[in-house]
Amino acid sequence: MTARTDERLERTFDKRTATALGKLGLSTVGDLLGHYPRRYADPGALEDIAALQVGEHVTILARVEQATVRPMRNRKGALMEVVVTDGSSRLSLTFFGKHRGSLYNHEKRLVPGAKGLFTGTVGLYRGTRQLTHPDFTLMGEESDLDSDEALLEHATKPIPIYPAAAGIPSWKVQAALRVVLDTLADDDVPDPVPEEVLRRQGLPGRAAALRSLHRPATMEEAYRARHRMRFEEAFVLQAALAQRRARTAAEDATARPSLPSGAPGLLADFDAALPFTLTAGQRAVGEEIAAELAAPRPMHRLLQGEVGSGKTVVALRAMLQVVDAGGQAALLAPTEVLAAQHARTLRALLGPLAEGGTLFGSERSGASTRVALLTGSLGAKARKEALLQAASGEAGIVVGTHALLSEQVQFADLGLVVVDEQHRFGVEQRDALRAKGRVAPHLLVMTATPIPRTVAMTVFGDLETSSLTEVPAGRAGITTVAVPAGNVRWTDRTWARVREEVDAGRRAYVVCARIHPDAPADEPAAGARRAAADFDDVPEFLDLGDGADGGSAAERKPLRAVLEVVEELRARPELQGVEVGVLHGQMAPDQKDAAMARFASGEAPVLVSTTVVEVGVDVPEATAMVIFDADRFGISQLHQLRGRVGRGTDPGLCLLVSDAEPGTPAFARLEAMTRTTDGFELANLDLELRSEGDVLGAAQSGRASSLRLLRVVKDAGIIEEARTAAADVVRASPDLAEFPELAAAIRAQLDEDQEEFLERA
């Protein structure tokens, strides 16, 4: 940035204006220029008052004739009525306020004799035409709107409407920008997009685009400027990701090639013993990964796959290739339940190959290795043993939670890091684990949430992507039904169906959004403590917001909770004689393991749980899932939960219990779930229904997206073009020494605002 854009607003404006702009987070000229209009008001054609038609959006040039403020007759509040005239006809303007004081600003400005532009939609009240809450700009309030001619010229142009705050309305932001733009030279505005890229894309320079964005002569000019700035945002982001890819490609890694064909080894023995045939997708992705592991630079790959598509087998084959080559593999999981499940699954898949475990560098007897489990709640003895197995190399595969990131955890020769459910971890966390290798280990990150290409190019833009779309043969389908929560007949039938599954020797999950029932109204602190203590069980996309799906948060029914539902089910006549188990994040690890074991064995064939069963849990006998408050979950999480059933040869049944009303976004989500089990189709729909902040992870961070104009969901074409252009620029100058403006933009925008978004990739 140059001195002009870094200039403090106090040097450009009086203290009062600078302080007001500071309320919007604007402290420099660059901040102000980056405060983009959120929309443009189309002033419409200037018309005579006598010719106005009801329903038209119009702009009139008129003078205030009289203005009165009075209390409203039939309800609380105040009413301001203003009569304006164009010299021959009159029109009423109406403003409402909670009280007279709230209309003070209008009362002070709209005094008899004041002249200005008034914009709004013509309405009819008791046979009289009027404008209700029109936008208006008055002559003399802005330095260059001091004549009829200036007002008329202003009226022919789109009016930018800015995000505003108390004491700094949109028109004051517009006035401040006018002052800056009038003195702004092209050289005052550093452009992060190189000239060659601008020429190729047919885009204007940054200074010209900012002028068009803030003072467009036509809407077409405003659209062109917005397109240019969208491209800039995409380009800066993609350049940062291209730099990451370049840095990864420049790192040294230990090549971990497959053993020669016919040579004895863990991978060969595993493939020979597999009781099923790999899908074509598993074979193709496996070959991609095998080739990258054999290279002396670190693999950096994202493996995304449909629920039940067999990602674990693909990951295990990669781990065995690394162990065969003398290295170790670490699998990082987000929860203890999932980590323990992974350890059990890997041992079961390996069978005899997981027995014994010899030190690296010595002859392997029967080509076996050990799978160690390391979590934060292990006892001292078990933890010490797992740490020793990892450090000595006795464990070729180490599975764990965040405990793997501890400084105490050391590896003999870490060759591969596998991160499951990638969205639960940040770049910093996965890099902390990779740093435990002597050189950069290979990296494979997995997600069972299908990711549309636009998101893959941004959120996961530093990774190469592989997708598994096939489901292994022999799996039965899943039927999904929406159950109205208040319908007693449907509710009774729900538990009768669960009993039918249990009587047939199968299992059923019952999922609740929280552990404890809602605290009484006089115990808000207790409820807050419970929510905080249960953070690992709160669904990532659980809608606990402002009631956008129908009613305020205060009007909504309390969320069903594990500890109340389990008691209800134990008392229901349909489930008499059926053991109902419990699982949630506040239980001790041995209690969780015992609950899962009793469920898997059929001792407790109904399990009431929080969303700790969302990912990775694999019980083939589980065929039914009941999800309470299903309208409060996002599509991706519902799809994940549904993926826990129907994993064997028996068909699955998913019952979504909710009180969502038709026409709401929540109802649309549930309807989509009942319509398809295609995760990629659901992921695209999910993006359409969710906000941009959610797509970028802002819902988790509590911060708004720093992408101001670019929309990941809608601007796929722009992102594609920016990705190609950024890759060319970074290839020409990996450290961006030849493009200092771009390097500065990456530091300013990404390091401060978007780094958290990237860290949550």
More confident residue, 666 or 448: 666
User: Which contiguous run of DSSP H or E holds residue 322?
Assistant: helix 311-324
CB 342 within 8 A of CB 420: yes
pLDDT at 34 over 50: yes
Query: In the prediction, which pLDDT does 310 show?
Result: 83
pLDDT of residue 87: 84
Residue listed under structure tokens 């004739």: 65
With a cut of 50, say whether residue 700 has pLDDT above it: no
Provide the percentage of residues in the chain whose pLDDT is more than 70: 80
Segment 290-316, tens digit of pLDDT = 999 999 999 989 898 776 678 889 999
| pLDDT-based confidence at residue 593 (cuts at 50, 70, 90) | confident
pTM of the complete model beyond 0.75: no
Q: For residue 196, which amino acid is it?
A: E
Of the ranges 107-121, 317-331, 356-370, 519-533, the best mean pLDDT one:
317-331
At 755 the pLDDT is 44
556 pLDDT above the threshold of 70:
no
Determine the Cα–Cα distance for residues 565 and 206; give it in Å rounded to an integer.
Answer: 59
Instruction: Round to whole Å and give the CA distance between 350 and 343.
Output: 11
Across 35-39, 320-324, 432-436, 639-643, least confident range: 432-436
At residue 151, the pLDDT reads 61
Ranked by mean pLDDT, which of 46-50, 179-183, 470-474, 696-700 comes out on top? Answer: 179-183
Distance CA 350, CA 319 (A): 12
Q: Max alpha carbon distance in the chain (Å)?
A: 103
* Residue 7 reports pLDDT greater than 70: yes
Q: Given this model, what pLDDT does residue 754 score?
A: 46
CA distances from 33 to 10, 29, 349, 584 (A): 15, 6, 59, 50
More confident position, 168 or 759? 168
* Range with the poorest average pLDDT among 432-441, 605-614, 658-667, 696-705: 696-705
pLDDT value at residue 546: 31
Q: Determine the pLDDT at residue 357.
A: 40
Mean pLDDT over residues 485-492, rounded?
A: 92
What pLDDT, on a 0 to 100 scale, did the predictor assign at position 324? 95
Residue 277 pLDDT class (50, 70, 90 cuts): confident
The residue with tokens 């239980």 is: 587
Pick 687 or 651 by higher pLDDT. Answer: 651
Mean pLDDT of 612-624: 79
Least confident piece of the model among 149-158, 169-178, 510-519, 641-650: 149-158
Predicted local confidence at residue 545, as pLDDT: 32
Q: What is the pLDDT of residue 143?
A: 47
Say what the pLDDT of residue 1 is.
47
- For the chain, which domains are there? 43-157 (2.40.50.140), 266-468 (3.40.50.300), 478-676 (3.40.50.300)
With contact defined as beta carbons under 8 Å apart, do 266 and 323 qualify?
yes
Of 91 and 175, which is predicted with more confidence? 91
What count of other Cβ atoms lies within 10 Å of the Cβ of residue 559?
Answer: 16
pLDDT score for 472: 65
Quick one: pLDDT at residue 214? 94
Q: Among the listed ranges 241-255, 383-397, 455-469, 588-602, which one has the minimum average pLDDT value?
A: 455-469
Asked if pLDDT for residue 231 goes beyond 90, the answer is yes
pLDDT of 542 strictly over 80: no
Q: What is the pLDDT at residue 73?
A: 83
Please determine, for residue 529, whether its predicted confidence score (pLDDT) is greater than 80: no
Residue 530 pLDDT more than 60? no
Predicted confidence (pLDDT) per residue in 96-116, tens digit: 999 988 999 899 999 998 888
Q: What is the pLDDT of residues 349-403, one digit of tens each?
A: 898 888 644 334 333 335 789 999 998 888 899 999 999 999 999 999 999 988 8
- pLDDT for position 264: 86
Q: How far is CA 624 from CA 61, 384, 512, 670, 760, in A?
A: 67, 40, 15, 17, 33
Counting residues of the chain whose pLDDT is more than 90, the rounded percentage is 41
Buried b (16+ CB within 10 A) or exposed e, 23-61: ebebebbbbbbebbbeebbebeeebebeebeeeeebbbb
Whether the per-residue pLDDT at 142 is higher than 60: the answer is no
Res 291: pLDDT: 96
Query: Rounded to an integer, what distance in angstroms lies between the CA atom of residue 515 and that of residue 188?
Result: 57
- In this predicted model, which residue has the larger pLDDT, 73 or 84? 84
State the pLDDT at residue 528: 36
Tokens of 439: 């050189």
Tell me the pLDDT band of 456, cut-offs 50, 70 and 90.
low
Residue 658 neighbours by CB under 8 Å, 6+ apart: 482, 483, 484, 485, 629, 630, 631, 632, 666, 670
Q: Is the pLDDT of residue 120 over 60?
A: yes
- Return mean pLDDT, the chain: 82
